[in-house]
Amino acid sequence: MTKTLIYITTLLLFSILSLSAQQDANLAKHYYDFGEYEKSAQLFKKLSDQNGYNEYYFSQYLESLMAIEEYEQAEASIKDIIKSRPQNIEIHVAYGNLLERLAQPEAADDQYRIAISKMDKNPKYISNLGNSFMRRTKYDLALETYLKGEELQNNEGRYAYNIAEIYRRKNEKENMIKYFLMSPMAASNRISSVQNYFTKYLDGKEEYELLRRQLYQYVQDDPENIFYPEMIQWVFIQNKDYKKALRQARALDLRLEENGSRIFHLARIAANDNDYETAIAAYQYIIDEKPINSSYYIDAKKELLDTKRKKITRSEYTSDDLLSLKGEYKEFITENGKGSRTSLIILELAELEALYLNNLDSAVVLLDELVNLPGLNNYIKANAKLDLADYYLMKGEVWESTLLYSQVDKEFREDHLGELARFKNAKLSYFIGDFDWAQEQFDILKSATTRLIANDAIDLSVFIMDNANLDTTYAPLALFSEAELLLFQNKSEAALNKLDSISQLYPEHSLTDDVLFAKAEYYNNNGQYELAIPLYEEIITNYPEEIRADNALYSLAQVYEEPMADPEKAKGLYEKLFLEYTDSTYSIDARKNFRRLRGDNIQ
């Protein structure tokens, strides 16, 4: 027989034996899981013997014996291993476990002590014994094992990660943090892993404060190690203390002579969490401290304008605030020219002119110039056209508006932008009273890939169907759509008067809850919560079966959660929504918000 044939034959035989062993292991586990312990004991014993003693298989063999109360056989098997394999210290842990089952705690503890006393500095023995105690939730004995292991190896911190894991399971967070920071895992080149660990196992500001205090001690003991101040900055971010995080980030930026990337990313986090003051300070730092040709200089100026705009428009502001901001936008465009580089800034300035300064003509001029710029990104051009169409509609120029919506629809037929353009065009038809065509389009958009568009399309389709069927003249519905157009055009006084006229002319009409909701939304969007809240409550109390009831619940819950800072009321409203309006498009979000306010850990 050739060497090649011998090799192939040996390989085939080994594969067959491996496959057979795996089948036996699966079968043994099956027997054990289904309570057939006599069969599982036989197979696990066979598997352990075949492997020249396998600790896992032998352990499962013992568990099977103990399940059928074959304690004498289990003890005899353990003693055989102790005799034949005196170097195997984990077997004493198995023996101790058996003695505990037999209500002999002192004898069990003696076996555990024998295991620890026989341990030497061999890392394999230390790890195996520690793991054996951990599997049986003997955390104090596992801790003793690892600490002795470090002493035997004269290597403090060698098993710090294992010790941290023990303290985690014992829910001793301060010690968990201490030993994890001592472990080889906690190194500057693995900072993401460290942060992931603490994100997973720390809960709430108090526990992050424990981490921060320990990090400060490490900074004092090892001031040259950049890992600790970086972690301190991260802790401040986790606690949403962006002002202190910025102070730490500035120090690191100067110390490491960075390009501002750390500050820029922190600014974005703060801005997204509505801490505009800190975000503005961070962007301003980059503008003041970094050269004009640096990587983040222009982006910082752009983001600074956007953040200032959000800060002003999302709070009480004066005309002077708006005019000052407009001046900063125009200064940026003058410095950098009109082109692709400033296209988003031009979009924002146009929005400022149209929606806040009521300069629709100026907004239209800006966007007309923008959409005709050569080389402009197609998506930016499409967004500019959609905004321009909105502004034309606000000016009452319906033809120009529908033409632009249709252009975007045609160019981005299979894209989100195309769906958005179709939705806006359908809503335009609804505004001007072409209800049949509008409803057809809303029905098509029910299957839109964007959930928000699909949900709004469903709402408007049902709304038209419910109210048009009651009155073939469409008169009340036409008044309502005209009022909504007036609201869209920022003609709020005329809109509110028209809504009131519906209530006066058609007091028993099904539009009553819609009128209340439209007024509530207007007051809510303008920060007049004391006027919005009773209107939402009237819908919820008096019109619980109408289509605006779930909308009112969701909007009212958000009012109580954010501006009114009353999470308990918000939680109750979210709960009522997902329990009583299970078919609502808001029910999923309401459930998530309820769980978040309750303190559940939502991934």
Query: Computed from CA positions of residues 335, 341, 346, 351, in that sequence, does the dihedral angle turn out positive or negative?
Result: negative
Q: Give first-to-last CA distance, the chain, whole Å.
A: 62
Q: Taking the alpha carbons of 202, 206, 212, 218 in that order, is the dihedral positive or negative?
A: negative
| CB 99 within 8 Å of CB 111 | yes
Model pLDDT, residue 160: 92
pTM, entire model: 0.77
- Residues 465-598, CATH architecture: Alpha Horseshoe (1.25)
Res 568: pLDDT:
93
3-class secondary structure for 159-210?
Answer: CHHHHHHHHHHCCCHHHHHHHHHHCCCCCHHHHHHHHHHHHHHCCHHHHHHH
Structure token pair of residue 315: 């709070």
Structure tokens at 183: 């472990």
Write the DSSP assignment of 526-566 as a string of letters: TT-HHHHHHHHHHHHHH-TTSTTHHHHHHHHHHHHHTTT--
Determine the pLDDT at residue 8: 47
Burial label, 132 (beta-carbon count in 10 A; 0-12, 13-18, 19+) = buried
b/e code 538-557 from CB counts within 10 Å (16+ = b): bbbeebeebbbbbbbbbbbb
Q: How many CB atoms lie within 10 A of CB 259?
A: 16
CA distances from 448 to 380, 407, 411, 426, 589 (A): 21, 19, 17, 14, 19
Structural tokens at position 596: 């978040």
What pLDDT sits at residue 470? Answer: 56
Tokens of 278: 């800190």
DSSP for 98-164, written as a single string: HHHHTT-HHHHHHHHHHHHHT--S-HHHHHHHHHHHHHTT-HHHHHHHHHHHHHHHT-TTTTHHHHH
| Domain residue spans of the chain | 465-598
Predicted local confidence at residue 2, as pLDDT: 58
Half-sphere exposure of 550 (CA within 13 A, CB side): 17
Spatial separation of the C-alpha atoms in residues 140 and 152, rounded to whole Å: 18
Give the distance, in angstroms, between the CA of residue 60 and the centroid of all CA atoms in the same chain. 41
Mean pLDDT, 10 residues at a time, the chain of 603 residues = 49 46 79 86 83 79 86 87 86 89 92 92 90 92 95 92 95 94 81 91 92 94 92 95 97 95 97 95 96 91 95 86 95 92 94 93 96 93 96 95 96 93 96 93 90 89 80 80 93 93 87 93 90 95 92 95 90 94 90 88 58
Q: Is 329 helix (H, G, I), strand (E, B) or coil?
A: helix
CA atoms within 13 A on the CB side of 442: 23
> 10 Å Cβ neighbour count for 581?
18
**Cβ–Cβ under 8 Å, residues 343 and 313:** no
Backbone angles phi, psi at 491, to 5 degrees: -100, 70
Report the C-alpha gap between 381 and 367 in whole angstroms.
Answer: 9
> Which residues make Cβ contacts (< 8 Å) with residue 273, sequence separation at least 6?
240, 242
Give the separation between CA 397 and CA 350, rounded to whole angstroms: 17
* Contacts for 326 with CB less than 8 Å, ≥ 6 apart: 349, 352, 353, 357
Residue in 469, 460, 535, 543 with CA at minimum distance from that of residue 508: 543
Q: Nearest Cα to 89, choosing from 110, 118, 62, 109?
A: 118
- Of 417, 392, 395, the C-alpha closest to 407 is 417
